[in-house]
Amino acid sequence: MGALLIMVIAFVGYLVMYKVYGKYIGNKIFKLNNQNKVPAVEFEDGVDFVPTKKEVIFGHHFTSIAGTGPIVGPAIAVIWGWVPAMLWIFLGSIIMGAVHDFGSLVISMRNQGKSISEFTAKYINSRTKVFFFFIVFLELWIIVSIFGLVMAIIFNMYPGAVLPVWLEIPIAMLLGYMIYQKGASLTKWSIYAIIAMYVTVIIGAFLPLKMPTILGLSPIATWSIILLAYAFFASVLPVTKLLQPRDYMNSHELIIAMALLVLGVLFASFGGNLEIVAPAVNSTPAGAPPLWPFLFITIACGAISGWHSLVSSGTSSKQVRSESDSVFVGYGSMLMEGALATLVIIAVAAGIGMGFTEGGQTFTGIPAWTHHYASWAAAKGLGSKVAAFVVGSANMLTAIGIPLKFGIVIMGVFVASFAGTTLDSATRIQRYVMTEMFPKTFKNRYFSTAVVVLLAIALIFATGTNGKGALLLWPLFGAVNQTLAALALIIITVYLKERHRWGWILSGIPALFMLIMSFWAMVLNQAKFGASDNILLSVINIVIILSVIWVAVEGFIKFISVKTKEEVEGAATDSV
């Protein structure tokens, strides 16, 4: 099957399912009602709770859930073949991921914009909340630390992306000022902002900024410190100052980048230069863990990701201005992410075959793919995954006349911008979670955010001045993230059972599937950690496993004890 056909089928499928399945779940299962007062309106404070146009909050929500997740996951999972990767992305995003994201958003909006760990106590019990909080805290700690590292690696690999990414900040703040303070036209000033941003991309291609070693710190370590300092300020500012306008800009950047990639696929396909060079199925690549269950752990964002429930119930639920907007924001964003992941698969399964040079040698066709994906060890590094996407995408952009040099900068800026969005969104959400759990201690947003940033810095430098300490816990992330998705689906299932005779099945089956896959992966990881005498990961993984068992059992007990709305009404009728 050609790359062009894959893209067309997937995109049409996403559009149809949004119109049919997404609207059905919203109207018939969750029964959205604009008469319900949402948190953005009820608690409007101009800092965190701000009623926002759905187009703007879509930009924030999408760029926050996406980050580099739908890039790095598919870029490594293609080692098992493009067919299983595409099937999981397409079916997972429609049936599981979008239901998970949308459900988490709606439930949070109906619970004062509280995080998913907080309303766990309401729908299951207070004991479960503690275990859930541990998993959420660990997930966010890893995300804040690792995305600081990801951006640092991107800056180090693609110095041409440095200037454009940093110049996005003043451009975004000016956009926010003009829209919110001066009442300027959103459309007009968004166009100005995007034009300005792409001008900086051209400048960056000619003015790459390479970070030197400073005071014994590696360039990656120095960038990590700078980026986390930025995350502090970005996360304490009112959302209208930076978060919303920058994410809105980034959503347009995404649309432009995806449009360029779509054109690249079209022109390269018709030009006969784009062929799928990855195998359809490669169930036993050298050194790789088994396809089952690790495909479903490796590809998270793009199919289903627990991180999304934290964004839905963290920042987005405090900004959506009406319940009806939640379908576009929650369900629609997930399908857009699936579309992005589809383009990533095409880039690393076909685009990379258009050629790349390494060590003075040029590789094209199947040898190009094989060289990059010769083994699990060769393909699993963060830098390697990012490079596969950037090079494959830049190759396809050459088909529409964009020089390779500029294509690499465009894609480098694209990846770094989204990682930055995730970085400060995760920092803000971690602050919300800690404030909900310990309201007296972490009430002050400056203090609580400082604690979040300092904990991330502590992890980053846990291995010394190389700044790669976050990689210590990285092996846990995939299973923890997908476990969180399963647990969020359990809560959604309990919620729906109280309100609909059979609507809970739409989240219940995905919850069971993700619980099995993530638990299976954690058990296999435990055997691996034990065999390598990794005491740190073994202990943390065991605690996670016990927490998951506790939450799953408590959730099941609650589920079977809950009566549906029809059962309650029937009992009332019988008593009369």
Half-sphere exposure of 420 (CA within 13 A, CB side): 31
pTM equals 0.89
Q: What is the model's pLDDT at position 340?
A: 92
220 located within any domain: no
Separation between Cα atoms, residue 181 and residue 245, nearest integer Å: 13
DSSP letter at 283 equals S
517 located within any domain: yes
222 located within any domain: no
Q: What is the model's pLDDT at position 573?
A: 43
**Percent helix, percent strand, percent coil in the chain, to nearest 5:** 75, 0, 20
- Cα–Cα distances in angstroms (integers) from residue 304 to residues 59, 84, 211, 338, in the given order: 19, 15, 35, 9
Q: What is the model's pLDDT at position 222?
A: 92
Q: What is the model's pLDDT at position 572?
A: 43
CB distance 63 to 307 below 8 Å: no
Instruction: Note down pLDDT in tens along the chain; length 576 residues.
Output: 588 999 999 999 999 999 999 999 999 999 999 999 999 999 999 888 999 999 889 988 988 888 777 888 898 899 999 999 999 999 999 999 999 999 999 999 999 999 888 888 888 888 888 888 888 888 889 888 888 888 888 888 889 889 999 999 999 999 989 988 888 888 889 889 999 988 998 898 899 999 998 888 889 889 999 999 999 998 898 888 888 888 888 888 888 888 999 999 999 988 877 889 999 999 888 888 899 999 999 999 899 999 999 999 988 999 999 999 999 999 999 999 999 999 999 998 998 888 877 777 777 888 888 877 877 766 556 666 777 888 888 989 999 999 988 888 888 888 888 788 888 888 998 998 888 888 888 989 999 999 999 999 998 888 888 878 877 887 888 888 999 999 999 999 999 998 887 889 999 999 999 999 999 999 999 999 989 888 888 998 998 898 888 888 988 898 888 876 655 554 444 443
Q: What is the model's pLDDT at position 387?
A: 79
107-112: which pairs have CB atoms within 8 A and are 24 or more residues apart? 107/313, 107/491, 107/492, 107/495, 108/39, 108/312, 108/313, 108/317, 109/38, 109/39, 109/317, 109/320, 109/323, 109/326, 110/36, 112/39, 112/42, 112/43
- Cα–Cα distances in angstroms (integers) from residue 208 to residues 99, 391, 397, 408, in the given order: 42, 18, 21, 12
What phi, psi does 320 have (nearest 5°)?
-65, 130
What the block records as the tokens of 230 is 């930025």
Separation between Cα atoms, residue 69 and residue 57, nearest integer Å: 20
Q: Which domain holds residue 412?
A: 3-103+112-209+238-575
Q: What is the model's pLDDT at position 99?
A: 97
CB distance 382 to 149 below 8 Å: yes
227 located within any domain: no
Indicate which CATH number applies to the domain containing 478. 1.20.1740
489 located within any domain: yes
When divided into structural domains, the chain yields a total of 1
217 located within any domain: no
* Nearest Cα to Cα of residue 99 among 554, 572, 505: 505
229 located within any domain: no
3-state secondary structure of 157: helix
What crossing angle do the helices spanning 382-397 and 243-270 adopt, rounded to 10°? 60
Q: What is the model's pLDDT at position 463?
A: 82
Q: How far is CA 555 from the centre of its chain?
A: 25
232 located within any domain: no
Residue type, 105: L
